[in-house]
Structure 1
């Protein structure tokens, strides 16, 4: 499925460019948790952005938006780190470690900060703001390239399901995939969201649904270690295609929102 970081990157970028109201951003975040709170990871970052430090009471995301605007933020980028690839997170520091555990992060290179969400209580998501030493290594993935890779991944995913015989013990496998794929169809996005980016995000959700079903064992089934390894090896490149497609689609959305805002002035 998509992630809270993708939601905040797109909506905050829309807000920074005057294409979304702050209430719209806050409403979109409700998809992920009823309550969102913000703290800085260290006192230096807290002072620089006028946010609470690690030992202080957190504030709401509206104050985060205001802090980013005051600091001169002009957009943000989505990072979906995995073991062995934490590019764009400033090296082996607190940000990359926390982002790797979460599997997601936001970087705002224009103000040298990164944010990582974490569920800290039932219905409560905390965003921790980290110093970002640099965003070196964060690649730009053309949307067309990511879309082609995703199309190939969809074909490979279908073949992998057959090869791995996922459906043998799961007669409702198609229904499972359809239900997982539609989880993201109700996510709110700005009215100015580019249709192509939305299409790529939806396709990524479809491939991800196949991956999640293929990677999970049917209830009561016994899967050998060698079979599990073969399954993981077959699905790994598909997971990478989904990751690249999501980052590319969010980057494209941010770019288009910035261009639309520039065209209004």
Structure 2
């Protein structure tokens, strides 16, 4: 699982569809932190959803499930990044918080008032979710289908590998670690996050491929022993990596959307 927001989106959608028990959602989120807190961004939101104000509700996951059951509407994963904020309600506190965190969950029907959730790590064992009011839920950004995401991910990996292999590089002088071991460690950390049993083999294939590519990109960035010799070559490399990250994000969102968008 790539993020707490993805965990909540997919597991909550499975629960609302009747395929998963509430305890399964709680257990899935516990992999990110044993304690989850839920707070409201303002007093009106707290009163509407019976949350503590001021302060936070300690039984955060249970409160989240209660709110989602009451609303019983679309749940959408958002993974904004610099230069790409599609799917966010512009000018809202939720949008600003989601951009800062790089993730969030949007809840509600397009064009109508809704809610947004953003998680933030507050300590080694604590994650805090903040509930934001959304005046009008943003329209779906038109992400690709799961089949298209699978094809785009495979195509991007091949093209990026060829392009990166053709770039000239020079040694940085730093001693590199075992890249394969680092990637294996990253994948092992991802593997502890379970997916609902209702996910199709295609869902799992797309998500596993996206996680594998993300692990490779993270290791490449953290343990690089070579670099491009010129600013132009460095720019080309960064553009290639950015496009690959974009495909990874699109694949993750497509997987979550195909489960969580309710008609």
Structure 2 residue aligned with 1:41: 41
Number of residue pairs aligned between Structure 1 and Structure 2: 254
Structure 1 residue aligned with 2:256: 250
2:154 to 147, 151, 156: 151
Structure 2 residue aligned with 1:141: 144
The CA deviation string for residues 80-132 of structure 1, in whole angstroms up to 9 with x for no partner, is 00112222221022111111111111111246111000001221000111112
Secondary structure of the residue aligned to 1:68 is: helix
* Uncovered stretches (5+) of structure 2, i.e. residues with no partner: none
Secondary structure of the residue aligned to 2:194 is: coil
Structure 2 residue aligned with 1:96: 95
- TM-score, length basis structure 2: 0.86
The CA deviation string for residues 211-248 of structure 1, in whole angstroms up to 9 with x for no partner, is 112223437x7877725434312211000000000000
1:207 to 209, 213, 228: 213
Pair 1:120–1:224, CA change in 2 (3 A): farther
Greater helix fraction, Structure 1 or Structure 2? 1
Secondary structure of the residue aligned to 1:89 is: coil
Pair 1:27–1:137, CA change in 2 (3 A): closer
Deviation at 1:165? 7.0
Pair 1:225–1:167, CA change in 2 (3 A): closer
- TM-score, length basis structure 1: 0.85
Structure 2 residue aligned with 1:82: 81
* Uncovered stretches (5+) of structure 1, i.e. residues with no partner: 260-265
Q: Which of structure 1's runs of 4+ aligned residues deviate more than 4 A?
A: 164-169, 221-225
Deviation at 1:34? 1.5
Pair 1:208–1:234, CA change in 2 (3 A): same
Deviation at 1:167? 11
